[in-house]
Each structure stands twice: as C-alpha cells, then as structure tokens.
C-alpha cells in the first residue's frame, strides 16, 4: 500500500516528564520543610476551643472605660498612615516614572527597579526597628517606616501603569516635536493620573492596617495600646480595642473604596431617564 504524499501526519504527543519531575520535586520540598518545623501538631486540634475561650474573654463584656483614649490613639494611627502614604506617593511617582520603559535611561531604569525590589523585600517592621535607633519611639517613626516601605510597591505600580498606557498620545506629542518632558507632561501624566490616585488611596488603606502592627514595636498609635493591654492580659480592654480597630478600618475602607471608584469611573450621569 502506497502512502499519499499529502497524507497528514499527527505530531507526537508532548512529553510531560519535565513537568512531572518538577511537581514531584516541589512537593517533596514542601513536605520536607513542613516536617522539619518545630510545631506541636497536637495543639492544632485544640485551636477551635482556645479561640472560643479567648473570644468570649474579649467580646462577651468589653471594657469601654478607655474608649476616649482608644479613639485618640486610633486617630494617631490614621495620621501616621496618612503621612506615610503622602511620603510614599511623593517619592514613588517621580521615581516610578523614571523607571518606566521609554522614560528614563536604561541604567537609571534598572537601578531604580532594583532599588524597588530591595525595598519590597524588607518588611515594614524591620524598617521601623532600624529607624527607632535614630528617631526614637514616636509616631513619626511609624510614618517614616510606612513611607519608605511603600516606595517599593508603589514605584512598581507606577512604572507598570506608565508602560501599560496606549502609545497613541505619546506618538502624537513626539510627532508635534515634543521632547521627553513634553511627553511626560501632556501624554503620560494625564492618562496615568486616575490610576495613580487610585493606587495612592489603596496605599493609605494598606498603611491603616500596618500602622497597628508598627505600634506593637513601639511606634505609637493604637497598636502600642493594644500591645500593652495584651501583655497584662486585660482581655476586656483588648476586645474593646479590637472593635475600635475593626470599625475604623472598615469605615476608612468604605470611604476610600468609594473615592477610588469615583476616580476610575467618573461621575455618574443623572437624569438620563427623564431626558429620554
């Protein structure tokens, strides 16, 4: 039997050996790391009952006598988060733009991206502990730590936003004879501004949560108050503080989320049904 010269030959199925070996190696690594942890796995079964016990101690009868001080410390934490967000945005927007492709020179672009990666690798708590030796136990230390730590993530958001923009406006400005500064001013900045403002508000939301954590290491705010009462096992006051923290965080998230939606979507048209 002769084979037709135009007969279709199906390709051989792809080999899955490499994917299988890689999956087995990763699984073995995870199992080895889990098995070598110094963890008493027997206590895991008692976690639900312990959670219920401490939850009852904290929230069955909260102590509201320290509510005025808790509100004041919460305001200090919010101020710390806001100042940190301002410092972060003021530094990350120009640096992030210079790190974008087509804006800054290659040597500067790679240097800034490397610096952003290094900053992202260091937690806020570590930065705060380093700053404590210089600025002392003050809320400004927490704000400065939040501002520095946020530059890594915020700078990455900025240059990714710039690089994701359409090239039509940029090409039009360059065709009109505009240089690099003109492209930044008239093409990139107006198009990226809504996204950058949205990211700035999101940075503020993140700082609200992190400000409570920084308070645990002595940076001030509601976190310091929470740490002190936890150390003294005053669970009724701890429960009140947690209620205040949760309520303040949810309120700020709701307001910030509404602002971000307004920035990204614009004002909604009203009265269209009546016009129709």
| Total of domains in the chain | 1
What's the pLDDT at 86? 92
Do the domain assignments include residue 24? no
Name the nearest CA neighbour of 124 among 138, 139, 140, 144: 144
Do the domain assignments include residue 16? no
Do the domain assignments include residue 161? yes
Do the domain assignments include residue 201? yes
Do the domain assignments include residue 104? yes
Cβ proximity of 94 and 160 under 8 Å: no
Do the domain assignments include residue 243? yes
Q: 58-73 pLDDT, tens per residue?
A: 888 888 988 999 999 8
With tokens 């110094």, the residue in question is: 38
3-class secondary-structure state, position 15: coil
3-class secondary-structure state, position 14: coil
Do the domain assignments include residue 13? no
> What is the rounded CA–CA span in Å between residue 213 and residue 16?
45
What's the pLDDT at 5? 56
Mean pLDDT of all residues in 76-94: 91
Q: List the CATH number of the domain containing 179.
A: 1.10.3720.10
Domain extent, residue 214, equals: 62-265
Do the domain assignments include residue 192? yes
**pTM of this structure:** 0.75
DSSP 8-state class, residue 41: G
> What is the rounded CA–CA span in Å between residue 94 and residue 119?
16
Q: 206-233 pLDDT, tens per residue?
A: 888 888 888 777 777 888 888 888 888 8
What's the pLDDT at 272? 46
Mean pLDDT of all residues in 237-258: 88
């Amino acid at each position: 039997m002769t084979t037709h010269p135009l007969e279709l030959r199906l390709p051989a199925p792809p080999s899955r050996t490499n994917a299988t070996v890689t999956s087995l190696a990763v699984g073995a690594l995870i199992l080895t790391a889990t098995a070598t942890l110094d963890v008493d796995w027997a206590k895991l079964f008692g976690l639900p009952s312990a959670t219920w016990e401490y939850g009852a101690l904290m929230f069955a009868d909260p102590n509201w006598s320290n509510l005025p001080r808790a509100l004041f410390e919460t305001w200090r934490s919010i101020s710390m988060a806001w100042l940190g967000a301002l410092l972060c945005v003021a530094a990350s927007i120009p640096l992030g733009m210079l790190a974008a492709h087509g804006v800054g020179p290659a040597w500067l672009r790679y240097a800034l991206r490397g610096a952003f990666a290094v900053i992202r690798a260091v937690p806020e708590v570590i930065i705060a502990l380093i700053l404590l030796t210089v600025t002392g136990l003050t809320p400004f230390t927490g704000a400065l730590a939040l501002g520095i730590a946020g530059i890594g993530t915020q700078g990455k958001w900025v240059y990714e936003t710039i690089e994701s923009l359409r090239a039509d406006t940029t090409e039009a400005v360059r065709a009109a004879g505009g240089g690099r500064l003109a492209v930044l001013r008239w093409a990139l900045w107006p198009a990226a501004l809504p996204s950058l403002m949205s990211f700035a508000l999101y940075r503020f939301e993140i700082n609200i949560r992190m400000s409570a954590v920084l308070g645990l290491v002595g940076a001030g705010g509601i976190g310091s108050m929470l740490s002190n009462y936890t150390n003294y096992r005053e669970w009724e006051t701890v429960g009140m503080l947690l209620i205040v923290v949760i309520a303040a965080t949810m309120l700020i998230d709701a307001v910030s989320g509404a602002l971000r939606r307004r920035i990204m979507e614009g004002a909604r048209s009203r009265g269209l049904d009546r016009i129709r």
